[in-house]
Amino acid sequence: MLSIILSGHGGFASGLEKAMHQILGEQPQIIAIDFPESSTTALLTSQFEEALAKLDESEGLIFLTDLLGGTPFRVASTMAMQKLEREVITGVNLQLLLEMVLERDGLTCKEFRLMALECGHRGLTSLVDEMGRERTAEVAEEGI
């Protein structure tokens, strides 16, 4: 099973983790690491290293982060490049997290990455698009 480190600004990671637990229950091999305003890059790096020491990377590890170019993404990227079978996915939302947690067993890191990107694209939609029609303004006719 792929291991996951979930990280983002403020309470992003712990918030997603809490929502995931509410919907799916406890999930193994996932650690959430917040990056509050009071934190530093050095502290976040240390927290990632501690998480890596706790997780089983035998099948690979995925970093899920909130923002492309943000500190959690940059720290994850640096660590991902240190070892094969590590991937970084950014722009994560709850739908992506839930689907990928359920699908990760038996996937390689590359397969996870490709499936997560597809899931992310599919998950960003609108009510109009999901209903398959365009909204039109109905003109109310007033009688004479």
Residue 128 domain-assigned (yes or no): no
Residue 139 domain-assigned (yes or no): no
Q: Which domain holds residue 92?
A: 3-122
In the structure, what pLDDT confidence band is assigned to residue 130 with cuts at 50, 70 and 90?
confident
| Structural domains in the chain (count) | 1
50-90 pLDDT tens trace: 999 999 999 999 999 999 999 999 999 999 999 999 999 99
85-128 pLDDT tens trace: 999 999 999 999 999 999 999 999 999 999 999 998 888 888 88
Greater confidence, 34 or 142? 34
CA atoms within 13 A on the CB side of 122: 10
14-24 pLDDT tens trace: 999 999 999 99
12-58 pLDDT tens trace: 999 999 999 999 999 999 999 999 999 999 999 999 999 999 999 99
Q: What is the CATH number of the domain that holds 11?
A: 3.40.50.510
In the structure, what pLDDT confidence band is assigned to residue 134 with cuts at 50, 70 and 90?
low
- Does 139 score more than 90 pLDDT? no
Residue 111 domain-assigned (yes or no): yes
Residue 137 domain-assigned (yes or no): no
Q: Is 87 left (phi over 0), alpha (psi -120 to 50) or beta?
A: beta
Q: Is 85 left (phi over 0), alpha (psi -120 to 50) or beta?
A: left
Residue 129 domain-assigned (yes or no): no
| Residue spans of beta strands (DSSP E) within the chain | 3-9, 30-35, 61-65, 86-90
- Give Rg (Cα) of the chain: 19
